[in-house]
């Protein structure tokens, strides 16, 4: 995984308005069917990870666990974030490809 590439893609998605972040905003977007991919910080609590894994499974979403809360926040120009929802399928696929490189 190339952290710099993933963080860059997250920044682009944020500027394009294709990112939702923060627990309540992400959960609302997941329930309304807007999220394509959930990214959870690797240093999140076990309860947080489990909760989002279950949501991803229930709604059929891509689930990724990577980076730290600090790195996720920096990538999108915000304070540390435990979870990010990617709203665009193309950005979601590009992030998965960057991880698998």
User: Angle at which helices 46-59 and 23-31 pack, to 10 degrees?
Assistant: 20
| Phi (first) and psi of residue 38, to 5 degrees | -105, 130
Residue 1 binned pLDDT confidence (cut-offs 50, 70, 90)? low
- Cβ–Cβ under 8 Å, residues 85 and 60: no
pTM exceeds 0.85, yes or no: yes
Torsion sign across C-alpha atoms 93, 8, 42, 97: positive
Q: What is the C-alpha separation between 86 and 95, in angstroms, rounded?
A: 10
Q: Mind listing the domains of the chain with CATH numbers?
A: 3-99 (3.30.1330.30)
Q: What is the C-alpha separation between 61 and 9, in angstroms, rounded?
A: 19
Q: CA 13 → CA 6, 48, 84, 99, distances in Å?
A: 11, 23, 11, 16
pLDDT digits (tens, 9 = 90+) for 17-54: 999 998 999 999 999 999 999 999 999 999 999 999 99
């Amino acid at each position: 995984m190339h952290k710099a590439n993933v963080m860059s893609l997250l920044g682009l998605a944020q500027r394009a308005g294709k990112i939702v972040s923060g627990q309540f905003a992400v959960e609302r977007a997941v329930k309304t069917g807007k999220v394509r991919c959930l990214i959870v910080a690797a240093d999140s609590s076990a309860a947080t990870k489990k909760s989002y894994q279950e949501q991803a499974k229930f709604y059929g979403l891509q689930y990724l666990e990577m980076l730290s809360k600090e790195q996720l926040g920096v990538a999108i120009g915000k304070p540390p974030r435990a979870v990010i929802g990617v709203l665009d399928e193309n950005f979601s696929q590009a992030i998965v490809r960057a991880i698998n490189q």
